[in-house]
Every structure is written in structure tokens, then in C-alpha cells.
Structure 1
Amino acid sequence: MVRIAQLLFVKPDQYAEYQQRHAQLWPEMEAALIAHGARHYSIFLNPNDGQLFAYLEVADRTQYEQIAQTAICQKWWVYMAPLMKVNPDNSPVTVDLTEVFHLNEGSH
């Protein structure tokens, strides 16, 4: 299992809308995430600066990254773009984080 952690950025006046849209995640988007191997996907908000911390686990990172080519993902990006810092293709601006520590339960 590959653990992915990223930073994203939501506009300060859009926190509530961002949370509401994820609370009502489109079933097609959820299905695409699952089909591309996403598991244990969580997003956390720092309300002081709009920084988001996203964490998920995938079996195969290459398979997961192919979600970006799907119509539903691109539609989701367009839907979310007004709320976030985005790239020219409407994908969210992300900063990949490097794992420096992981405690695996029962490893000691």
C-alpha cells in the first residue's frame, strides 16, 4: 500500500462551501476514486490559512494517477475550481509531501 500526502489550498471565504461539496460528493466521483484504488482518503483544513492536508492510501500510484484522465474527475475539478487555488487545467495546485515517519501498529 502506498500512502500519499499532499497540501492543497482553499480560498479563505470558501471553507464552508468546500466542506459542503465534499459532504455531498457525487456518487460517480466516489466510484471513480474507488475504481482507481483510493482507500482511507481524508482531507483536513487549517482554518487559519486555508491550507488543506489530504491523505489517502492506494495499491498502485500509477493506477490512481490515471483518474486525472477521466471525464468525471475533470468535471469535479471544474466544479471545485472557484473554491481553490488551481492550475490552468483546473486541477488543484498540490504540494506532494515526503513521508519521514510511519508507525505501523504491532510493528514492535
Structure 2
Amino acid sequence: MKRIAFKMFLHKGFEAEYQKRHDAIWPELTNLLKDTEIDDYSIFLDEETLVLYGVLDCHNEIKYHNLPFQPVLQKWWEYMKDMMKTNENGSPVSIPLREVFYMK
């Protein structure tokens, strides 16, 4: 298993809407993530900077790296892009974070 962490960037004024959309996350997206062998996935918001921090456990890196090609995820990116800093392909700008400490 590999722990993966990254940061993304929320636009000002979209804090409540971001939460609302994730509270109603699509079942087909959660199924895709589970089928990709991702679990313990959390996203944290730094309300001062509007930086989002994602942390997840990945049990299959090949499946994880194929996620961007999945239509359900591409549809989710399209749904979320009005609220976040995105790349040209609509994916959220996501910067990997290096783990410096972990206590189990």
C-alpha cells in the first residue's frame, strides 16, 4: 500500500459549494475509487489559504495512474472545474506532497 498526498486550490467563495458537492458525491465515482483500490481518502481545507489537501491509501498504483482516463472522473472534473484551479484538460491542478512523518 502507498499513501498519497496532494494539494489543490479552491477559488474564493466556493467553500460551501465544494462541501455540498462532496456531501452528495456520485455513487459511480465512489465505486470507481473503490474499484481502483483506493481507501481512507480524505480532503482537508485550509480555510485561510483555500488550499485543499488530499490524502489517500492506494493499493494498486497502476489502477491509480489510469484514473484520469476514466469517463466518470472526467465528468466529475467538468462538474467541479468552476470552483478550482484546473489544468487545460479540466483536471484540478494537483501538486504531490512528500510525506515527512507518519505515525501508525
The alpha-carbon deviation at position 62 of structure 1 amounts to 2.1
The count of aligned residue pairs is 104
Asked whether the 8 Å contact 1:40–1:56 carries over to 2, the reply is: yes
Structure 1 segment 79-90 matched on structure 2, within 5 A? 79-90=79-90
Amino acid at match of 1:25: I
The residue aligned with 2:49 is 49
Amino acid at match of 2:79: Y
Structure 1 segment 82-101 matched on structure 2, within 5 A? 82-101=82-101
**TM-score with structure 2 setting the length:** 0.96
Structure 2 distance, partners of 1:12, 1:46, is 12
Amino acid at match of 1:20: K
Structure 1 distance, partners of 2:94, 2:85, is 9
Amino acid at match of 1:71: P
The residue aligned with 1:70 is 70
Which structure has the bigger radius of gyration?
1
Structure 2 distance, partners of 1:7, 1:87, is 14
Structure 2 distance, partners of 1:77, 1:65, is 16
**TM-score with structure 1 setting the length:** 0.93
The residue aligned with 1:5 is 5
Amino acid at match of 1:74: Q
The unaligned stretches of length 5 or more in structure 2 are none
Structure 2 distance, partners of 1:37, 1:10, is 26
Asked whether the 8 Å contact 1:12–1:49 carries over to 2, the reply is: no
Q: Secondary structure at the match of 2:57?
A: strand
Structure 1 distance, partners of 2:11, 2:56, is 22
The alpha-carbon deviation at position 102 of structure 1 amounts to 1.4
Q: Percent identity?
A: 38
Amino acid at match of 1:51: V
The alignment status of 1:37 with 2:37, answered yes or no, reads yes
RMSD: 0.8
The unaligned stretches of length 5 or more in structure 1 are none
The residue aligned with 2:20 is 20
Amino acid at match of 1:61: E
